[in-house]
A and B are shown apart, each in its own frame.
Chain A
Amino acid sequence: MQNFYQEMWSDLSIRSFATEKLSQILEREKLLHNSVNEYAEIVNEMAGMNKAAVFSHHDQLVSYFFGNPKNVFAFKLTEDRVEELSAWLSKMPTTTFEKEVKNQNGPLFAPRLSTKGVMEQLDQNLIPFSLTNCEVIQGLHKEIRSNISEQIGSPFAFINTRAWVTKSLSNEMGPNAPHKDGFLPGHMKIMVYLTPMSAEYGDFWIEGEQITGEKPGFCIGFKNSDLLHSGKPGTKYPRICIEVTIMRTLQDNKQSHDSHVCGRHFLNVSSAYENLIKQKNCQDMLVEELLANKKTPEATSHAKAGGA
């Protein structure tokens, strides 16, 4: 199957077809809402499934050309990376969900949870870090990309990067209770555990399986909206993790925006192609960019990897 996808994507006419379809999807999204900033508007829109349909069509398009990603996969960061991330987080300020949820700027959908006391409960059990985009995050993304390209199967964009401390003996609530994330189609999460996976430090549960006994730097990627999962607090020490959200796309993209503590995914699919669009200052030029017979190393390697 790898050869199949590789050959298919290397065919100019196939890529032409793909970019035409992408262009149609983005155009539809543009008509739907060129720029959605108002929270109520987003919720209404999502309730109407229009936004979900756009993400779904985009995901189908990516899967058509690159196959499906693996449901779950694991890998390990280097010890040096764990140390670098630990030193960096030690210097990062912490914040609260209550405070951060009020910040609704940026390209990410960050819902205000309406259930009374949810933010308070989150803040009683978790301590989020306030992160701005930086070289350390980009370095982490680079190492993640090199580890997961084959499992993802397609190009992908980094969407959001969060880090938090789960207090020891914290309650079974929010991320500490079994849940699915309910993100719009096309997204996956990679959880990076800086602390060891153990009963003392806490671990992870997914679809009935306890992931434990792993050393610092263990990472697990999974379809966060399809698979039931839960963080497990430690009995003795804090659990410290970094969560990276990605979206499968037709073109690799870095995270160029700041993360959001309450962020879920992009408001618009087009945000994943923003760099290209900005670069050409015209969405139509995106098609040209992708068509321009530039077999980028990323695109080639993803096509090689396949994903089915």
Chain B
Amino acid sequence: MSNLVSLVNKFTDCRFLNVGSGPKPWVGWNCLDELDTVGIYSMKFNSSCSFPMDDVSQDLVYSSHCIEHLDDHTVSRLFDEARRVLADRGTILIKIPDYDWFLEKYRTKSADLMENIIGYWPSWSWANFNVAESPLNKLSYMFCGYWNYAYGDHFSGKINKGPDSYNGPAQMSEKELRDLFDNRTVREIVQTLRGVCEKDRSLKAFNHQNAWSRKDLIDLLKNHGFQVQTCPKDELVIKYSNLVPDIEFMGRWSMYVEAKKI
């Protein structure tokens, strides 16, 4: 019903903004994404992008599982833009994978590490490059992953399942990965993984390429003029359950950070 939602929104004062919305528009929301589909403002997220909204025109900026796909400069730009379009004391609500939670599970040797996280891993392509479908590689892929030219494009669904296709984690040995995940911070891990991925000359695009601990994300928001709210995850989900249609989606392994524009 994207055309209907788009029509309704044309006559609605939409004061909520979903950054990285995916293909389906929401009623009463301005939706931004790199995908070009009905009811979505299609735009390229980069370090100089501008949201197509007026200054102080939005009450809430929400982004779910989006910024981990972007580089630091682009994330910084999105936060600046969010601040620009937000009304005074407007709210930004960010949802990303809970990297603290993943790291904790790994370091405490949890038996179900990476189980029941997402329904589909493109691990058929990992076999093309002798990358094992192990919990450790899945963990690595959650922090940083990429696909090559032979694979096609993951987000548009134009995927080539050929023998040279790859959409997976940085290609590292188990020992290298263990050294990394045993000893480094979230930021150090993702930066290392990203560096390894970039060495593959067949790299076409990243899937995840960024990660933050909760403290990292809070600091980042503070640096962009936001005052972070302290609200337990469960309470926050309830608070937004009638407003944000997908607030609970992937919630079990997600981190939520809510902040106010100051």
Chain A residues near B (Cβ < 8 Å): 79, 82-84, 86-87, 89-90, 127, 165, 167-168, 194-195, 201, 216, 236-238, 240
Contact = CB atoms under 8 A, between A and B. Distances in A.
Contacts of A168: 12
B228 interface: no
Contact of B7 (A79, A86, A167, A236): A86
A238 B12 CA distance: 7
Contacts of B12: 168, 237-238
B240 to A, nearest CB: 17
A236 B3 CA distance: 19
Contacts, number: 44
Given A79-B1, A237-B8, A240-B8, A87 B28 contact: no
A90 B6 contact: yes
Given A82-B1, A237-B27, A194 B11 contact: no
A89 B6 CA distance: 10
Interface in B1-36: 1-4, 6-8, 10-12, 27-28
Contacts of B3: 83-84, 86-87, 90
B60 to A, nearest CB: 16
B4 A194 contact: yes
Contact of B4 (A165, A216, A236): A216
A interface, by DSSP: helix, strand, loop or mixed? Answer: mixed
Closest 8 CB pairs of A and B: A86-B3, A87-B3, A238-B11, A86-B4, A86-B7, A83-B3, A165-B11, A90-B7
A109 B69 CA distance: 59
Interface residues of B, number: 13
Contact of A89 (B7, B27, B28): B7
A85 B162 CA distance: 41
B244 interface: no
A79 B2 CA distance: 11
A84 B4 CA distance: 9
A87 B38 contact: yes
A195 B2 CA distance: 12
A195 B8 contact: yes
B1 A240 contact: no
A83 B3 CA distance: 5
B28 A237 contact: yes
A237 B29 CA distance: 12
B7 A240 contact: yes
Most buried by B among A90, A127, A195, A216: A90
Given A87-B38, A237-B27, A237-B28, A82 B11 contact: no
Given A127-B11, A167-B11, A238-B12, A82 B4 contact: yes
Contacts of A165: 11
A89 B10 CA distance: 10
Contacts of A195: 4, 8
Most buried by A among B1, B4, B11, B12: B4
Contacts of B2: 83
A28 B85 CA distance: 66
Contacts of B27: 237
B10 A90 contact: yes
Contact of A216 (B1, B6, B28): B1
8 contacts: A87-B7, A89-B7, A90-B3, A165-B11, A194-B4, A195-B8, A240-B7, A240-B8
Contacts of B11: 127, 165, 167, 238, 240
B256 to A, nearest CB: 25
Interface in B146-166: none
Contacts of A237: 8, 12, 27-28
B200 to A, nearest CB: 42
Most buried by B among A87, A168, A236: A87
A92 to B, nearest CB: 10
Contacts of A236: 28
Given A83-B2, A87-B7, A168-B12, 7 more contacts: A79-B1, A87-B3, A87-B6, A87-B38, A195-B8, A238-B12, A240-B11
Nearest to A216: B4
Contacts of A87: 3, 6-7, 38
Nearest to A168: B12
Contacts of A89: 7
Contacts of B6: 86-87, 90
Contacts of B7: 86-87, 89-90, 194, 240
Nearest to B10: A90
B2 to A, nearest CB: 8
Nearest to B2: A83
Nearest to B4: A86
B4 to A, nearest CB: 4
A197 to B, nearest CB: 13
